[in-house]
Structure 1
Amino acid sequence: MTDADGLTVGEVSTRLGVTVRALHHWDEIGLARPSLRTAAGYRLYTAGDLERLHRVVIYRELGLGLDSIRSILDDSTADVLGALRAQRTQVAERIDRLQQLSAGLDRMIDAHERGMLLTAEQQAAILGPQWNPEWPAQARQLYGNTTQWLQFAELSASRGPEEWQAVADTMADLDRALGDAMDAGVTPGSPEANHLVERHRDVFASYFPLTRRMQVCLGRMFEADPGFAAHYDGVRAGLATWFRQIIDASARAHGIDPDTATWE
């Protein structure tokens, strides 16, 4: 093609792989204007125009803004090397952010699939010898499609061994407080018992937010499930039943019938 010839906007769009809209915009702002017009007024790009457009496309692909590109193309005093170095720095920073995002996505995927991002040895060291490392996988099979599992995974993705140790310590403190309260004769429905129920909801939020109705369902499970019952009764004999009783009493005080409460 010679300068006497010309390419239409559509032909240039196809040749350079840019949109017609972009070509019109660059024309409007004076960045890359067609030098010729047909008798009917249609834009035609000459060989010189196409060379300039090639340079615009190259710098755009490198991430430079249109004002920077205009300066590089039109200002003989422009620090082209400095602009490219600055862009390289920005690209490196963007790559670092993307790598961090990728690592975060990997952790989130692992957390959704595994629950706890801990080895079996770490789980045993933090949660005690009675902990079964297979429980998280079993829980995913049962609850993997629930909102609560998703919430648990989102929290788990940001936790390492130290954070899980803090959760375990907080739960152990609550267990001791429950056992001490039962020994002291604290009765279901009393302010002391209700405070412990609220404390349990706060502590349990380390896994996922717990409504009062959901807490009633957990109380039933703590008493009925052999594994949970053994855990609480291991703290104090009869604690699993007493814990369920104080949860039920607190629920009644908030207008919830424990006998009909469902997981919601």
Structure 2
Amino acid sequence: MINAHTGLMEALTVGQVAETFGVTVRTLHHYDEVGLLHPSERTPAGYRLYTGEDLQRLSTIVVYRRLDFSLEEIGELLDADGAEVIDHLRRQRDEIRARLAQMSDLVDAIDRRLEAAMTDRPATTEDLKELFGDGYSEEYQAEAQERWGDTDTWAQSQARTKHMTKDQWAEVKVEMETFETDLGAAVRAGTPVDGEAAAALAERHRASIERYYDCTHEFQVCLAQMYLSDQRFTEHYEQIEPGTAQWLHDAIVANAAPHAD
């Protein structure tokens, strides 16, 4: 504490020093016992007081301790001349820099492990909402489970998607967007539903379904019927290009015909 009248550091009690410098009273007593830091004055009642010089010495001790110096090393430094102090500090600085480099490498290794762990973990509901936005609906997921939850197809779908990561779902999104872009272009161009280009799109559609469960041509036709009967699916495809729901349905049906029993 600085005296407002003299501008000099006032002598402090052990308790005041402990509070000011963040050290314990026990530590100060230990420094006194080992001869590292003695309070230079005492009150009339015999209480020890630390002078301004004592506190400057303590400040140096605190810095050295934070640098992980031993008390013996600190004592040698405090008693050494300027050249010895500089030489010792330079050696200690080199050691600390080497330690920091090791810690930096350790942090990088932990970051790599963390990134790998985060990448490999199964995608959460929040991840899917972030990726697909309005295209992901928990209500639809619940409805789908209610309708097909007791089927082998549902079980197969759950098993295949259970461990899919966010990156894998991102690939699904890109695949879906690319397919729908090509689908819209085919509809705008008036591509025949029974031609090779339409058949290729129908097979891409079926392959995208098989990411989740086995999809025969017959089952794909059932899905295509739903694109016309379920307004939600119809509206989705119509947003791509007017007439897309019907075109995709017809292309799937035409592609399945040669595979019918």
Taking structure 2 as the reference length, what is the TM-score of the superposition?
0.51
- Counterpart for residue 229 of structure 2: 224
Q: Alpha carbon RMSD of aligned pairs, Å?
A: 1.8
Distance 1:142 1:129 in 2: 21
1:241 to 2:242 alignment: no
1:118 to 2:127 alignment: no
Distance 1:143 1:127 in 2: 22
- Count residues with an aligned counterpart: 141
Give secondary structure in 2 for the equivalent of 1:208. Answer: coil
- Counterpart for residue 202 of structure 2: 197
Distance 1:204 1:247 in 2: 13
Higher alpha-carbon deviation: 208-217 or 244-253: 244-253
1:104-143 to 2 correspondence within 5 Å?
118-119=124-125, 121-143=126-148
Distance 2:194 2:143 in 1: 34
Q: Is the 8 A contact 2:193 2:254 kept in 1?
A: yes
Q: Is the 8 A contact 1:124 1:133 kept in 2?
A: no
Distance 1:158 1:233, change over 3 A: same
Q: Is the 8 A contact 1:117 1:156 kept in 2?
A: no
Match of 1:215 among 207, 212, 220: 220
Q: Whose helix proportion is higher, 1 or 2?
A: 2
| Unmatched runs of 5 consecutive residues or more in structure 2 | 1-120
1:18-57 to 2 correspondence within 5 Å?
none
Distance 2:169 2:175 in 1: 10
- Counterpart for residue 154 of structure 2: 149
Give secondary structure in 2 for the equivalent of 1:222. Answer: helix
Distance 1:204 1:249 in 2: 18
- Counterpart for residue 172 of structure 2: 167
- CA distances 1:48-80 after superposition (whole Å, capped 9, x unpaired): xxxxxxxxxxxxxxxxxxxxxxxxxxxxxxxxx
Distance 2:225 2:199 in 1: 17
- CA distances 1:63-116 after superposition (whole Å, capped 9, x unpaired): xxxxxxxxxxxxxxxxxxxxxxxxxxxxxxxxxxxxxxxxxxxx9xxxxxxxx9
- Counterpart for residue 256 of structure 2: 251
Distance 1:254 1:148 in 2: 21
Per-residue deviation, 1:156 = 1.2
Per-residue deviation, 1:160 = 2.1
Q: Is the 8 A contact 2:218 2:260 kept in 1?
A: no
Per-residue deviation, 1:128 = 2.6
1:188 to 2:193 alignment: yes
Q: Is the 8 A contact 2:123 2:163 kept in 1?
A: no
Distance 2:135 2:205 in 1: 21
Taking structure 1 as the reference length, what is the TM-score of the superposition?
0.50
Per-residue deviation, 1:117 = 5.4
| Unmatched runs of 5 consecutive residues or more in structure 1 | 1-106, 108-115, 257-264
Give secondary structure in 1 for the equivalent of 2:138. Answer: coil
Structure 1 runs (4+) greater than 6 angstroms displaced: none
- CA distances 1:11-37 after superposition (whole Å, capped 9, x unpaired): xxxxxxxxxxxxxxxxxxxxxxxxxxx
* Letter matched to residue 226 of structure 2: M
Distance 2:159 2:136 in 1: 22
